[in-house]
Structure 1
Amino acid sequence: MSRSWVAIYQNKESNYSVYFDFKKQELFLIAQQINKSMITFMSFCSIPFYAIMKNFSFGMATNPLKMLVIASILGIILGCVSIKLSDRAIEKGLERRKKVIYPTNQELREYLSEGKKQSRVLVFIILLLFLFIFLSVALLYFMPQSVLMFLINIGMWAVIMLAVWIVRPIKRSQAHKQLEGKLEKNSG
């Protein structure tokens, strides 16, 4: 689960991301693939799923804390499996998809400047996801019989783990600092 590279910048117009590899000390870019059909499919499936599941309940008296623990453990397991599968899929096609780049100092400054702005937004999104997970925990605590809240809690744990793994805010910050240090050395 520990990869040696991290995204430092995403160009949304040209649809690619720039990554820094700590081991190889190189920058590379990968063209992004957006699966719009999958997003559309998930959006349409969520409405009937909610309509069906909103009235389901476990039908027995359940301990709220026990439900929270079970949902959290299942969500963490699902998150770990998602991370492992994502990592395997990424590593499988990484070498043929990546293109090593040698940006000028000006281009690197631009990547770092825009990358820092993007990092702040991504950290805010992660904090917002943490707020949602606490909200789902609270709702599950007060509605322990709700199958929908149970499934939402599991999903939120998996999503937050996957989001933190993808963004890697601490590693991203370290990459920015290391590259800024290289820029200062080259300028001075």
Structure 2
Amino acid sequence: MSRSYVAIYQNKESNYFLYFDFKKHEFFSVAERQNQSKILLISFVSIVFYALMKNVSFGMAINPLKILLIVSILGIMLGYISIKLTNRGIEKGLEHRKEVVHPTNQELREYLFEGKKQFNVLVFIILFLFLCVFLSAVFLYFMPQSVLMFLVNIGFWAISILVTWLIRPIKRSQAHKQLEEKLEKHSG
């Protein structure tokens, strides 16, 4: 589950990410694929799923705290499995799509400046996802028989954990700090 690299910048026009590898001390870029059709498919399936599940409920009395514990465990397990599968998929195709780059100090400054702004947005997204976990847990607490809220809470747990792992906020801030210090040494 441990990766030695972290994204420090995303170029949205050219649709590529710039990564910094801690072990090799090198930068590389990876072109990302467009997932427009997948987004449309997921949106359609979500609407159909909601229409089918909105009135479905468990037919028994359930202690809300027990259901929250079960949902949390299932969501965390699903998040962990998602991380393992995602990591396997990334590592499998990375060497074919990876292109080592050597940015100049000026380019690196620009990447770090823009990357820091992007990082703040991504941290906000992580916080928003965990707020969604909390809110869905509150709804589930008051509606423990709702199958839809049960599944939504599991999904929010898994997505929050996977997104946090993908963004790697602590490693990313360490990479920014390390690279900024390196730039200060070169310019000073």
Range that drifts further, 117-126 or 34-43: 34-43
Q: Percent of aligned pairs with the same residue?
A: 72
**RMSD, aligned CA:** 0.6
1:142-181 Cα distance to aligned partner (Å, 9 max, x none): 0000000000000000000001000001100000011111
The answer on 1:132 being equivalent to 2:132 is yes
Which residues of 2 match residues 22-41 of structure 1 at below 5 A? 22-41=22-41
Is 1:74 aligned to residue 74 of structure 2?
A: yes
For residue 17 of structure 1, give the secondary structure of its aligned residue in structure 2.
Answer: strand
1-side partners of 2:65 and 2:171: how far apart?
Answer: 34
* Separation of aligned partners in 2, 1:87 and 1:34: 19
For residues 36 and 92 of structure 2, the distance between their equivalents in structure 1, rounded to whole angstroms, comes to 22
Give the gaps of 5 or more residues in structure 2: none
Q: CA deviation at 1:37?
A: 1.2
Shift of 1:3: 0.4
Q: Provide the TM-score with structure 1 as the length reference.
A: 0.99
TM-score (norm 2): 0.99
Quote the Cα distance in structure 2 between the aligned partners of 1:32 and 1:109: 23
User: 1:96 aligns to what?
Assistant: 96
C-alpha deviations, 1:14-54, integer Å up to 9, x for none?
A: 00000000000001100011221111111011111101100
Distance in 2 (CA, whole Å) between partners of 1:124 and 1:94 is 28
**1:90-169 map, 5 Å:** 90-169=90-169
DSSP-derived class of the 2:58 partner: coil
Aligned length: 188
